[in-house]
Structure 1
Amino acid sequence: MLGAAARFALTGGVATLVHLAIAIMLIRLGVAPLIGNAAAFATAFMVSFWGHHLFTFAGHGVDVQNSLSRFVIVAVLGFIANESSLALLLKFAAVPAELALLVSTLIAAVLTFFLSRYWAFKPDPSPMR
């Protein structure tokens, strides 16, 4: 599992950097944090999916269509965790929007790893013969 976790961290790190760079840029341009975060999520989604499909969980044996449909669900759940925690941090914590964004993104990353590893890219068990 350490190998998959390291590959996930690398792939997720790239997708997260894309996400954070776009979100922070939009926030600094005056876009509301929750809207900027949503736009950044949409942009980073494909980086994340293809990175995980081709690198993190390479050799998983799950076809693109099946893993994409599962990963959409994983990504949406991660986005809900990210956006909800961001909204709560912005409302109740006295921290800059960029720090709140970083914390909420970390929360979503942990959730996304486990859902990706144990469901989205998990091969279906072999049929019994």
Structure 2
Amino acid sequence: MKRLVGEAGMLARFGGVGVIATLVHLSVAAVAFIVWPTISPFLANLMAFIVAFQISFWGHRRFTFRKDGRAYRFFLLALGGFALNNGVLAALLIASSVDGIFAIVIATFTVPLLMYVAARFWAFA
């Protein structure tokens, strides 16, 4: 039972850091669209990813897992999540009328649970 409670706490911390990183990601993308109205959604998403990655790694290292993870593993994991995010973004832009920041919002919310499992058992194992 104690282990289950500990895992639930870690999942809650992961969610908290994830919410902050996601808000940063979406804010950077929104600012990119405001400053450059014709920016490619993929470029805005890349800019947002680069900033949010820093928040995410630091937060998970300090608060979620409370240990030094392997930065290169977390970066590879984040790149995998970013690739999945961009796949969803591309599908939305091609197959629907959703565009711009709304497509980025939808794509950004598709990856978190998978990222938790991979970060927990690989990057910060």
TM-score bracket, shorter-length normalisation? 0.7 to 0.9
Alignment pair present for 1:112 and 2:115: yes
Instruction: Tell me the TM-score normalised to structure 1 length.
Output: 0.84
Given the alignment of the two structures, is residue 41 of structure 1 paired with residue 49 of structure 2, yes or no? yes
Work out the percentage of aligned pairs sharing the same amino acid.
Answer: 38
1:83-98 alignment runs, 5 A limit: 83-98=86-101
Supply the AA of the counterpart residue of 1:114.
Answer: V
Normalising by structure 2, we get a TM-score of 0.86
Q: Which residue of 2 aligns with 1:69?
A: 72
CA distance in 2, matches of 1:27, 1:82: 18
Aligned to 1:22: 28
Deviates more, 1:29-38 or 1:105-114: 105-114
Q: Deviations over 1:39-95 (max 9, x none)?
A: 11011111100100110111x4xx45xx21110111100110111111111111222
Report the Cα distance in structure 2 between the residues aligned to 1:79 and 1:92, rounded to whole angstroms.
Answer: 20
CA distance in 1, matches of 2:41, 2:102: 11
Partner of 1:55: 63
CA RMSD of the aligned region, Å?
A: 1.4
Asked if 1:103 corresponds to 2:109, the answer is no
Uncovered stretches (5+) of structure 1, i.e. residues with no partner: 123-129
Q: Give the gaps of 5 or more residues in structure 2.
A: 1-6
